[in-house]
Amino acid sequence: MKIIGSMNKYNPEKSINPEEWLALDEGVRIELVRDFHQNLPEELPDDALSLHSSLHVIVENQLAMGVQLIPETISKLIRQGLNRHEAIHAIGAILSADLYDLIKGNVQEFSLKKYRRKLDKITAKRWRKGQY
């Protein structure tokens, strides 16, 4: 695993340094997230852990790149009582639902407009109720 700077561990509760994060190879990012989750009490099967880690990385990449609405949505959800890790999960859930629709053929293309609308509407209360 090629490590750059101090980025040798991932903790979703702490903000990442965008430059260091984006300088890492994508595979290294996924491994760092995977390593973090393997130390949690909840166990995920390997394939689920791989997908979960990849979604974390996508959200962290969007955050590091300052993709429209991602930093604002993370901040909003944290202000509303979620921790940073939960906020990443909320955004990842929105993204995964949209990707699932694409993979299943329910939609013909990924809709950035729909994704942004869902990001705008998500709240900590809605997330806790499973309404995203």
- pLDDT given at position 74: 97
Q: What is the pTM of this model?
A: 0.88
Query: Quick one: pLDDT band at residue 29, thresholds 50, 70, 90?
Result: very high
Average pLDDT, the chain: 90
- pLDDT given at position 115: 94
Span 44-70, average pLDDT: 91
Is the pLDDT assigned to residue 6 strictly greater than 60? no
Domain ranges of the chain: 18-128
What is the b/e burial string over 49-77, where b = at least 16 CB atoms within 10 angstroms of the residue's CB?
eeebbbbbbbbbbbbbeebebbeebbebb
- pLDDT given at position 54: 95
